[in-house]
Amino acid sequence: MSSITRRLGVMGQADVDVLSWRDTIVAAGGSISIAILSIASRFVAAEKASGAWGLTDDYWPFWGENLIQATVSLKQRRTVTLVNAPAFTARRHFATNGSSSYLDTGFIPSTHKIAASTHNVRLAVYLRDNLSSNSYAAGASSSSNRALRLRPRNASVAYLDANSSSGTYTLPAATSAGYTAGSRDAALGANSYGYKNGVAMVQTVAPTAFGSASLPVVPILVGGYNNAGVFAGPRATSIGFMTVGATLSAAQELAQYNAVQAWATAVGANV
């Protein structure tokens, strides 16, 4: 047992999943401070307490202390590939340029899902910038309705595709900054949801077509989306955090936002 593990164990803050994340980061040549181990452990504890941990398939804390830490996902511990030089700022975000730089998570929804399913899926992003643009923060699409992707702000609305055609949701404030989630738990417009900072948004246009064969079969990209293997819909954005999994309840949405915001605040990345 390492000295860090012993110290966190004594403090009652070491989470076994966070220690596995740490081990992957260290094996990849990165490092992680005791402070971040503690912050991440509190985050995971909050997720487990709300039940969101079991419903979420993976988490990407892009606001890592160093590049390696920021490129290892928290739960499935996949390594992100940085394509065409997205800019990394420690303890803040990755910034994409809206034309050619992006992140490839390697997470293929149809094959890497655990809690998610064809008709129960959710994608959420924490953005640190405000941009009105009909472009995508993240996503993957295998056909027009097998699309899991987020357009966090175009004027006063967000377009959210949860393995479906787009649903339109009114933003509570006209900004893309903050935590935006899109989900659905059945093949119905009424079962499609949008949340901003843990609060349900008003759905103004319901999705009308739903992917039924599977979830997308290509990896989720960040800073645009994966259009059947081609980078598309690029967005100039600063992304600090992302999750994918199954639909959360309203209470779990709020609990997850509070936990994400606590992590953001602890590293100075909160907006």
Partner 1 sequence: MPGFIVLSADEAAHVRGPASPPYALEPIERQGGVFILPADVLDHPAYAMHAEFLAARPQMDSADPSFPPALDPAED
Residues of this chain that bind partner 1 (CB under 8 A)? 67-68, 71, 79-85, 87, 97, 99-101, 104, 133-136, 151, 166, 227, 230-234
Which pairing describes strands 138-141 and 225-227: parallel, antiparallel, or unpaired?
A: parallel
Q: How far is the CB of 91 from partner 1 (least distance, A)?
A: 18
Residue found by looking up tokens 């509190």 in the block: 42
Q: How far is the CB of 135 from partner 1 (least distance, A)?
A: 5
C-beta atoms surrounding 145 within 10 Å: 18
Q: How far is the CB of 232 from partner 1 (least distance, A)?
A: 5
Which pairing describes strands 147-154 and 157-162: parallel, antiparallel, or unpaired?
A: antiparallel
74 versus 246: smaller Cβ distance to partner 1: 74
79 versus 270: smaller Cβ distance to partner 1: 79
79 versus 249: smaller Cβ distance to partner 1: 79
85 versus 202: smaller Cβ distance to partner 1: 85
Q: How far is the CB of 86 from partner 1 (least distance, A)?
A: 9
Q: How far is CA 86 from CA 62, 244, 271, in A?
A: 12, 21, 21
Residues β-bridged to residue 25: none
Q: How far is the CB of 159 from partner 1 (least distance, A)?
A: 8
67 versus 114: smaller Cβ distance to partner 1: 67
